[in-house]
Chain A
Amino acid sequence: MGITIDGLARRYGAFAALERVSLDIADGEFVALLGPSGSGKTTLLRILAGLDDPDEGRVRRDGEDLLALDARERHVGLVFQHYALFAHMTVADNVAFGLRVRPRSQRPARREIAARVAELLKRVQLEGYERRYPAQLSGGQRQRVALARALAIEPSLLLLDEPFGALDAQVRVALRGWLRDLQRSLGLTTVLVTHDQEEALEMADRVVVMNRGRIEQIGTPAQIYREPATPFVHDFIGRSNRLDGYVEHGRLLLSGYALQGELPMMLDDRAVSAWLRPEQVTLAPRGEAGWPARITRLQVAGSAVRVALTLAGQGAQIEAEWSEEEVSRHALAEGSAVTVQLRTLTLFAEGREPSRHVFRPRHDTMVPLTQAAGATVDIGPWLHRKL
């Protein structure tokens, strides 16, 4: 059953924070809402927590209307970026808060509360810290208290709002794995809001990429990285090269060259943006054709080398990532002339019929446009189509 979000919309004045967002979350699933600031991910989280109300749409939890419930009654655990611990209460009092504010009839006995608090603190590895105040804890410890406090009410849904945002890089990485394991062991349905793609891809079962109040793509971390559904996702996740092109007569005109390969009819006569990751730009094997290019910059980044290239033709700038071994074997340096192949390009055609197509160019038949068309004008690739 899980959570069913259906057509949620939220506007603040003229600004649309959420536009008809729909999403299903399975029981026990870990979903990450990933996007830049202002993408609507926090608004969605706050609506789920009951801290904000949508203008339209519905949210059901196991068939029950979640939005009809006041935030008090939702049993949704919320962990804030800045912890939001009660500074005047000890760690134990913070964790016990949700139990102590229950109506008298549902409130556990004092001993029971103490036992529950001890158990939760053990769970977040903070035994012995009961009597400290939040100010006496480190950031990572505070966030674990906040988590224990949220878990104390036995939530059916756990919401994490940039939970590692205020932490040091090292603590952040350590907590990620720990939280992931904890979530698995509890089997707790969890929604994480983050702008950190590494965090989202590493922790979540499924990632929801959001932009300007809309969902761009929902998928597993691998799908999100390997098969980005939109130019935004390609650009936002990982490193990307973007080239503008035009499809004509079954050829892709790109930066002064015509590339052949499999292209659907619907792309014909349309402007496309071609995207590829740096690792999809490879050196052409000896004797094979490819795209002439010149290295403008070499930058060693660990075991890989980031290579900035200027492609022949119209001089498009792209980035490649090669191994250090490969670079030294070919004695590459800044200024070296090389021949590269673009392994896989993801083409996005925008406009009336948005379309996505994976294109593997054949390099043996690629030709410079000026020769192909027999013309001298070479202003932009698609300006040649009338020639």
Chain B
Amino acid sequence: MEAVLARPVYRRRSLASRLVRGLLTGVAVLCAALLLLLPLLVVFAEGLAHGWAVFVAAITDPDARTAVKLTLLVAAIAVPANMLFGLAAAWLMTHFEFRGKSLLGALIDLPFAVSPVVAGLVYVLTYGVHGWFGGWLDAHGLRVIFAVPGVVLATVFVAFPFVARELIPLMQSRGSEEEVAARTLGAGGWQIFFRVTLPRIRWALLYGVLLCSARSMGEFGAVSVVSGHLPGLTNTLPLQVDQVYNGGSGDAVASAFALASLLALLTLVTLVIKRLVEWRHGGELARAAARH
């Protein structure tokens, strides 16, 4: 009732105003359909264009299966690592005042602004043959670039800020009062974290982890630079898609889309869970407005 009162409906609209509204809505829906929906649909359509046999063959190919495993492995390392970082950074940024805090905040966001290719490049320059640690690594028989560790590092870089970015605005808007209250009641640091802080931020945390995983599994540019594209060894699923697509065989494109449809499916699942979390626990997520 209050909501209705707070946002009364303008009921008497002139014909012109209704036409304008209809037109705007129509154009927006058309744009959404053409620009956003079609690319998703075409993935599945092209994947099945040469029939189920090609589709199944593409996703059961040994190299494809290794790629899926590597993708999951990379995400299994990158996501928890970034989650821990996100929690630490959010605790630091929201409960303490210190010099250089705003600089730190900007640095945390930095990977968002860096091109994925540059992200890959900086790791090549650090750990590659001619990089800072290249000689040392070589001498000890270790490989980072063109090997799995490089893929993991690049993925961690690009998925770096997701968790922190979800948590910081939320925790900022809630303030430190409850934590301080718990402290005065004699709770220790970990008790405060697990009993007071975590229950309040769990949905935002899930949300951040979700975005972080989606990015980790789907990353292409950064990983492409550091992986070396060794099928069955350092190819993640997006890289495998790329390689099959450019492979040139008759079913290449359809096979690539078949693999791509796995990733598209992953995207859909991510979006559905994201919607559910927003829908059920929207109030516990920080409004993006707080970030600006």
Contacts and interface: CB of A to CB of B under 8 A. Distances in A.
A and B touch in the complex (CB under 8 A): yes
Interface stretch (A46-54, A101-109, A118-126, A352-360): A46-54
A17 B12 contact: no
Contacts of A53: 10-12
Interface string A283-326: 00000000000000000000000000000000000000000000
Nearest to A51: B8
A43 B5 contact: yes
B36 interface: no
Interface in B1-59: 1-2, 4-5, 8, 10-12
A13 B4 contact: yes
A197 interface: no
The B interface is mostly helix, strand or loop, or mixed, namely loop
Contacts of B5: 12, 17, 38, 42-43
Contacts of A51: 8, 10
A12 B4 contact: yes
A46 B8 CA distance: 9
Contact of A15 (B4, B10, B11, B12): B4
A17 B9 CA distance: 13
Nearest to A46: B8
Contacts of B8: 12, 43, 46, 51-52
A45 B176 CA distance: 42
A41 to B, nearest CB: 11
Contacts of A43: 5, 8
Contact size range, B: under 10
A46 B1 CA distance: 17
A40 to B, nearest CB: 10
A52 B11 CA distance: 7
A38 B1 contact: yes
A15 B2 CA distance: 10
A384 B12 CA distance: 59
Interface in A2-57: 12-13, 15, 17, 38, 42-43, 46, 51-53
The A interface is mostly helix, strand or loop, or mixed, namely mixed
Nearest to A67: B12
A52 to B, nearest CB: 5
A42 B10 CA distance: 15
A242 to B, nearest CB: 27
B16 to A, nearest CB: 12
B79 to A, nearest CB: 41
A92 to B, nearest CB: 29
A211 to B, nearest CB: 15
Contacts of B2: 38
Contacts of A12: 1, 4-5, 8
Indicate the member of A13, A38, A46, A52 with the most B CB atoms within 10 Å: A52
Nearest to B2: A38
Contacts of B4: 12-13, 15
Nearest to B1: A15
Nearest to A11: B4
Contacts of A52: 8, 10-11
A46 B6 CA distance: 12
B131 to A, nearest CB: 50
Nearest to A55: B11
Interface in A158-198: none
Nearest to B13: A53
A238 to B, nearest CB: 27
Nearest to B3: A12
B66 to A, nearest CB: 57
Nearest to A54: B11
Contacts of A17: 5
A38 B3 CA distance: 12
Indicate the member of A12, A46, A51 with the most B CB atoms within 10 Å: A12
B25 to A, nearest CB: 22
Indicate the member of B1, B8, B11 with the most A CB atoms within 10 Å: B8
A12 to B, nearest CB: 4
Contacts of A42: 5
Nearest to A40: B5
Nearest to B12: A53
Nearest to B14: A70
A284 B4 CA distance: 53
Interface in A50-96: 51-53
A51 B8 CA distance: 8
A13 B4 CA distance: 9
A43 B8 CA distance: 9
A329 to B, nearest CB: 51
A42 B7 CA distance: 12
A38 B1 CA distance: 9
Contacts of A46: 8
Nearest to B4: A12
A301 B1 CA distance: 38
21 contacts: A12-B1, A12-B4, A12-B5, A13-B4, A15-B1, A15-B4, A17-B5, A38-B1, A38-B5, A42-B5, A43-B5, A43-B8, A46-B8, A51-B8, A51-B10, A52-B8, A52-B10, A52-B11, A53-B10, A53-B11, A53-B12
Interface of A: 12-13, 15, 17, 38, 42-43, 46, 51-53
Given A12-B8, A53-B10, 6 more contacts: A12-B4, A12-B5, A15-B1, A17-B5, A38-B2, A52-B8
